[in-house]
Every structure is written in C-alpha cells, then in structure tokens.
Chains A and B, each alone.
Chain A
C-alpha cells in the first residue's frame, strides 16, 4: 500500500528565503505526482503536476522535481513571500487513478 510522507510538517521562514519542501513515497510505480496548495478552510489548488516520465516542472517561482527510483519529490519555492503561506500537499497518482496524499507541510512566511 502506497504511503506518502512530507517533511517538514511545519516551516516558518522570513520573507525572501528560498525553501524546499520534501515528499517521499514508498511505491515507485506511480502514474504522476501532483503538488497542491491549501489555504485555511479552502479546497486544494493544483500547483504542479509531474508525469512519471518527467524529472521536473516549473511554474513561476515554483519548481518541482521527481526521482521515481528513490521515491522522492521536492517542491522548491524561490524568493518566498507572505502570500505563499499555506499548507502544501503532495499526492501520488497510482495506476488505477487513486490519489494518495501526504499529511502536508504548513508554511508560514514572515514579513
């Protein structure tokens, strides 16, 4: 059974810092990996999706990488801003199309 772990559970940084959020998964037979953002009391917003054949995806200040062989993905946020404060969730999509989520990283960017 796929298990997804996110480290750290919480992170507090000053504005302007570059930071890395980590996601690991136990079964490397995934279809893709998706990173989401969740604001308090809200639904999930998709940030980046990496297909299993890809190594990374970029969108603005966000870059996500995927290493299937080691069961790891990282989300890199450049020049962090207070508006980036949210919970970040990663999810692996299995063949058969089930999404398995990590518990998330709560990010706070201080101004």
Chain B
C-alpha cells in the first residue's frame, strides 16, 4: 500500500525532554511537510523540505528541528525549547506529476501531550 506513515500515534513528553516524531512515505514524493494543529485552528506549517538534504522553516519553526537524509523520511524533533508542544502533528507529502497536477497527501497524525 502506498502512503504516508506517521508514528507513534500517541506520544507523551516530560518537561525538558526532546522527542522525535517519525514520518515515512513510499509515494516517491520529493516534497514533505510538517504541520501543527491546535483545537479550533487551521494547520500551521512548521518545516518543509522540497528535496533531500534541504529544508526550510515554516511559520512556527521555533522549538522544532528536522532532517531529510532520505527521500522517504522526514522526522520532526520537538525540543525542550518548544514551550507549548501539546498538539496534533501532521506530516504531508506532495505529488508533482508530469501532468502538472500537484496534490498533497497526509498521514494519520501524532498526538503529542506534555505530562
């Protein structure tokens, strides 16, 4: 099955701890994205990567870090510098077909809670 897999589904973080959220895709997409979703708000862009070994900050990158060593993988680390990390995190990848249709696909999300 082709798709985007996020793990874990639920994650608990203690104060001062770094945690890493996994995102893997087998769609052969070049671009990958991380979004944060808070109740009653739309998705906000944290980081995105359009090609291996390259990534850019989104609108709310402070307290987060990413890497893109492989095309299939785009892990997100929530560092201790992120003061309010409790949220639902969504990973996406983007298709860029020869026909010019660019469609985004999303994983099932990781719910992160600070305990």
Contacts and interface: CB of A to CB of B under 8 A. Distances in A.
Interface of A: 4, 31-32, 34, 36, 41-46, 49, 51, 89, 91, 93, 97-104
5 contacts: A32-B102, A43-B4, A98-B58, A99-B45, A100-B45
A79 to B, nearest CB: 26
A111 to B, nearest CB: 26
Interface of B: 4, 6, 31, 33, 35, 40-45, 48, 50, 58, 88, 90, 92, 94, 100-109, 111
B50 A97 contact: yes
Contacts of B109: 41-43
B43 A89 contact: yes
A3 B41 CA distance: 13
Main secondary structure of the interface of A (DSSP, over half): strand
B40 A41 contact: no
Nearest to B91: A43
Given A97-B94, A100-B45, 13 more contacts: A36-B106, A41-B109, A42-B108, A43-B6, A44-B90, A44-B92, A46-B103, A97-B31, A98-B45, A101-B35, A103-B40, A103-B41, A104-B42
A43 B42 contact: no
Contacts of A32: 101-102
Main secondary structure of the interface of B (DSSP, over half): strand
Contacts of A51: 100-101
A24 to B, nearest CB: 13
A103 B58 CA distance: 17
B107 A43 contact: yes
Report the 10 A-B pairs with minimum CB-CB distance, sorted nearest first: A101-B42, A44-B106, A43-B108, A103-B42, A101-B43, A43-B106, A43-B109, A49-B103, A43-B107, A102-B42
Contacts of B44: 101
A34 B104 contact: yes
A62 to B, nearest CB: 16
A34 to B, nearest CB: 6
Interface centre among B90, B94, B102, B109 (most CB of A within 10 A): B102
Contact of B48 (A89, A98, A101): A98
